[in-house]
Structure 1
């Protein structure tokens, strides 16, 4: 075996050491060796536990573990925060006592995982804790020992409420699919980029005459209806609405995510805008309202895009000669 220490015995009273003394010493040192090994093993297990606990507590996702009887054994700090609960309130409860009402589907999945021993993953689910509803991705996994014996279940909750709110806000300004790619791209997309894109500018012809006839409230109502129609046309082709400039629209195709057919997308959007305007004018004439006319300018050129502004206010926009030319067309 491996040598882990040395025992030394000196100066026996009553004569020399005998074979019996040596046998007793061997038995004693064997017990000492076992004790030392157990102590080292305990330290290793304790260090591993401390490491696992530390890793669990540092996670941003909520992690709840249940034993094979369905009782909640552990819950990390992120889990307590997500569920707005204290450790004393949750530890010892059964999963069915805690995940109730609109959250009861979690325990249905836990039972299914216990039977199949296969993970269950749910994306963008709704969970309700107290009076607050959150959007979350959940993963439920089986826990087993090295021999495969079922020990319980692990529930992981990733709170995506902030990300979903961000996506919802961004989707008001661009196609939801583009918003997803923009969120995934991060700083590489939002930072300055030198690229080729197709710019679209449109504005209402004779807008001053319309405003004089409609008044303030009528003008605002007309613009809201007009912009709703036009933005839908742009979004269908995955264009990015940059801004409204009075009665004008500035949009781009190929920003922040480019396609092989951005020029065609911009042209299709412009044609759809014109045909949609004709349909809208038909309805307006039936109601005795003035028709609306507009002009559209398209230009494909090299531009600079990125977050531009001051630390207090920034906008993702485009600049360059290509932008200026499209605005003049």
Structure 2
């Protein structure tokens, strides 16, 4: 009997070790962002705190995790909260992170306390795990700065991209995709806000570069699917390439980020596959992403429970 119990326990442990997705079973997490630095992957996510049966997104803080091999993740806790921004009412929605000039810049969605609607804030830290502090003392983008729609949530989901020449670009939006050039300070707009004509755009725009090609991906329709376009520069012109990831089951959103690590490429996203999960209790997962010889992506990318194989980085710093 004891032998059978031990065998069963070992089998359960082996199964658990293989089931890499969702990545953080101890928490409900959403809206992943990624920074690769020092041979280590840093993954930032908002924490879903809605109760069972909740009908709204309850999000007060962001969490940060890191990995040297894409298989084992260290929890570094809370690098900042929505209330890190004194001018914000709350709502720790989607974010993105970049490194420039030896500092780490965190661009986030929060609800503004005095300007009606959502806004984009920017925080800064000397470490990828924080703590982050408000870098500007006010919002970088507020709802009254963009007049393309009359909704309160059209300035959400910031995606920060720093090109090889050091130029930073910020993409964001809901219903209308917007972008702007940033000054070297990373806290000032460098020119007017521009609009991208993206087919059936909903939200979650994301810009990355691979082998000289620029990839602009985003969530389309609602419930959302992830699609992408390619272009010769950070501002296009863009050629639609099709679906990158299909819709979730039971969760309307599928917010993503794409990155390279230790010779392989990956996509992080969220679904509702943790026990008790759903629309307001989401879970972050990851898959390997592969490019074809012509530069397009092998897609649609399937969601798996196993996730990608381990990829230990010899350059990973302790």
Q: TM-score range by the shorter chain?
A: under 0.3
TM-score when normalising by structure 2:
0.20
More helix by share: 1
TM-score when normalising by structure 1:
0.19
Which of 1 and 2 has higher RCO (CA within 8 Å, sep 6+)? 2
Larger Rg: 1
More strand by share: 2
